[in-house]
Structure 1
Amino acid sequence: MAKFNMYSKRRTSLNTVTATGAGATTTGAVAVSIYNKGSASGTVEGITLPAGDGLEWNVNGPYDDISYDATGTTFTIWEELDRDDDD
């Protein structure tokens, strides 16, 4: 989905990921939100993310990749990515 980020004034696209294991977000994302919708805790950058909690990175991006481990739970991850095209 394409959108215009009113804060950074750049065209972006939104990438949504459902994770149930270890991984990392896309390097260069301009904003990232991670929500633990499962019933157990997971970790983000080595810090415990309890069930029902979320974290956001939405200022001063782009960001390096953000590591997570959703083993035993389920994370929903939204990444806002810069677009190079004019679509």
Structure 2
Amino acid sequence: MDLETLNNKKNNILGQIRAYEELQSGLEQIEKYNRENHTNDELKVYTLAYEPHLEEITGSIVAEKIEQLTDNLLTISEKINHIKMMAK
């Protein structure tokens, strides 16, 4: 892969991480609201991104996805650094 492709993948992953972090923040706010109002309902959020099936999104799933994306980002960053070092 060339440097431009890797940088595009890196930027894509960064965007995904930001989106999942915002989702995680929203889930935490809703959980806080439920605790303060003595509601024991578990929040489930669904996305239609993979139609026609629904994907369940919970706090733990979001945390796992952020961890996976962060690992992917590290791998791509290492490849970018390797290419830059080889170019010197």
Larger gyration radius, structure 1 or structure 2: 2
TM-score, normalised to structure 2's length? Answer: 0.24
TM-score w.r.t. structure 1 length? 0.24
Structure ranking higher in helix proportion: 2
